[in-house]
Amino acid sequence: MAKSIKKRARKLTATGVATTKPAQPLVADPNTKTDAGSKQARIITMLRSRTGATIAAMMKETDWQQHSVRGFLAGVVRTKLKLKLVSEKIEGTRIYRIDDADSAKTNGRNAKRAA
């Protein structure tokens, strides 16, 4: 017969075996310096160029799938880093770039609160 859960839990803690791992953050803190050659840094460099980048170009540069590139653009570039990502359709091709002139860091609410 199987041992009760309580007995198994006591046995595991008595031997000193940890039953759970501490939670680790899934995404690195955007304020920390990233490796200049990392995939994220390469995509941001591509997006900061005047010509911008297509999804296909970012996929080729990082070996990521299309949904991963889109998730990075929405989750990291727009949300975490709060950069203004501009999307333009030129001759049937969607081009993404970061607009440094109008950074999203100064949004309308904070501009109204000027001291």
Question: What share of residues in the chain are helix, strand, coil (percent, to 5)?
Answer: 40, 10, 45
Per-residue model confidence as pLDDT tens digits over 48-95: 999 999 999 999 999 999 999 999 999 999 999 999 999 999 999 999
Place of tokens 């994220």: 40
- For the four alpha carbons of 113, 111, 87 and 64, in that order, the dihedral sign comes to negative
CATH architecture label of 36-102: Orthogonal Bundle (1.10)
Residues 4-27 as b/e (b if ≥16 CB within 10 A, e otherwise) read: eeeeeeeeeeeeeeeeeeeeeeee
- pLDDT at residue 104, rounded to an integer: 46
- pLDDT at residue 47, rounded to an integer: 95
Residues 90-110 have a mean pLDDT of: 73
Whether the full predicted model's pTM is greater than 0.75, yes or no, is: no
- pLDDT at residue 100, rounded to an integer: 79
Query: How many Å apart are CA 82 and CA 84, to the nearest integer?
Result: 7
